Amino acid sequence: MRPLHPARLGVLLDERIEPGEFGTLIRSMGFCRLATRPHAVTEWNHVGGMISFDPLGRDDALGDDEEILAVGQELGLIGIDLDVRALTRALDDPALTDEELAAGPAEWAKFADPFPAWPRVAKDAD
């Protein structure tokens, strides 16, 4: 349910998942929340050695009758000889700690974020 610390997620992906510590992860997809981008639901899209994180929607501009798109993470994983329990535990590691969560979004913005920045588009752009 907590946002993910992008630097810890990057280390997990590059140093543990990609080398095959948990088996061969072939495909994963779903959504997550990155702490450095707290108002956006992020699409997680991974195939082979490529992963991308793209914004699915923002909840800081919702109307009074609109609901947020998602809270937390929801991922589907497909692989060969996956150690599901170990991989699930490892995916919990990038989640914000109690102290980080309590610090709030202003502090989260200071976290290292190794993922590419998202382009900004004006609201009235066609």
Task: Give per-residue pLDDT as tens, 34-64.
Answer: 999 988 889 999 998 899 999 887 776 655 6
Q: Which two tokens stand for residue 69?
A: 């798109």
Residue 6: how many other CB atoms lie within 10 Å: 22
Is residue 30 within 8 A of residue 19, CB to CB? The reply is no
Segments of the chain scoring below 70 in pLDDT: 60-71, 121-126
Q: What is the pTM of this model?
A: 0.85
Q: What is the pLDDT of residue 63?
A: 59
- pLDDT at residue 39, as a whole number: 85
Q: Any idea which architecture 6-106 has in CATH?
A: 2-Layer Sandwich (3.30)
Residue among 63, 65, 81 at smallest CA distance from 26: 81
Q: Cα-atom radius of gyration of the chain, to the nearest Å?
A: 15
- List phi, psi (to 5°) of 110: -85, -10
Q: How many CB atoms lie within 10 A of CB 19?
A: 8
Q: Residue 111: which of 33, 50, 58 has the closest Cα?
A: 33
| Domain-wise residue ranges, the chain | 6-106
Q: Residue 41: beta bridge partners? A: 57
Distance CA 33, CA 83 (A): 24
